A = this chain, B = another copy of it.
Amino acid sequence: MSTTPASTLAILNQPSRHAPASLDGAAPLRLVDPDAVHIGVRDLGITRGDGIFETIGAVSGTPQALEAHLRRFARSAAALDLPEPDLDTWRAAITAVADSLAGHREAAIKTIYTRGIEGDGRPTGWVHGFASSDFAAARRDGLRVVTLDRGYRHDVASISPWLLQGAKTLSYAVNSAALREAQRRGADDVIFVSSDGVVLEGPTSTVLLLRDGRLVTPGPGLAILDGTTQDSLFAFAAQHGIPTALELTTTEHLHSADAVWLVSSVRHAAPVTAVDGTPRASEADLTAQFNRYLAGRRD
């Protein structure tokens, strides 16, 4: 009789073909105890938040939007001048971890890739999967959000690439601090706004709006992540004849839109029910269709 573990951890021996392996002659993947210690105190991932990650949803053992996540992972690595990740090895690790968790209806799979021990030249990489929290309430009843100033102009990514906006880095302390600020204000989540008043993204999600019959996400040219879940929902919209657009968006649009969602790989589509304390309408039927579509993805 096989049982499904609560979590699975695979350590990659050589996360990039352009850098030496961690251990000579070791297997490409080692499945190890997720609750044991595995990281040295000199790893730049912890001393400097110097690395990248992805969080991938898996349904009954199948990772979702896997190739979109891998492409974004490679773009983040390039933004940080990390050795190019060997996507075949990462894909194999993600698939193995997801497969081990097939007994869970929903799982989250994190890929983490750091610059490794300072001065050593060998990056660190692992894939950690675990049964998801239950997001049924957020998907159905929605989230109260506050808008918080991200401090950067909306176009800072093109001007100052060293600020790493648009890369999914391990330096997420600001994202965590923003979520604590939301809790202090009695809200559930955050929508970041640029210093010049342009809606950006959530700390761990992409913003979607229904405006005049179009499905809209903030863009183009913003200092934000490409949303893999937003991309899936644009495919859903195309199938259903709903026009889609990237448009510069203001906080006023967050109030006037017909619906607003925060969408992400594991929580999927959560309707926004209040912005800065002001209630706003949502579209229960469309939200349910979004979430059925997202849960049903098989690649």
Contacts and interface: CB of A to CB of B under 8 A. Distances in A.
A110 B160 contact: no
Contacts of A234: none
Interface in A192-207: 195
Contact of A49 (B49, B110, B115): B49
Given A149-B160, A151-B163, A163-B151, A36 B40 contact: yes
A156 B174 CA distance: 13
Interface of A (DSSP majority class): mixed
A151 B153 contact: yes
A170 B49 contact: yes
B163 A48 contact: no
A45 B48 contact: no
B169 A173 contact: yes
A98 interface: no
Contacts of A163: 150-151, 174, 177
Copies in the complex: 2
A147 B159 CA distance: 14
A274 interface: no
B151 A177 contact: no
Contacts of A171: 49, 169-174
B48 A46 contact: no
A46 B170 contact: yes
A66 interface: no
A170 B215 CA distance: 37
A166 interface: no
Please name the 5 residue pairs, one residue from A and one from B, whose CB atoms are nearest each other, closest first.
Answer: A49-B49, A171-B171, A171-B173, A39-B39, A48-B172
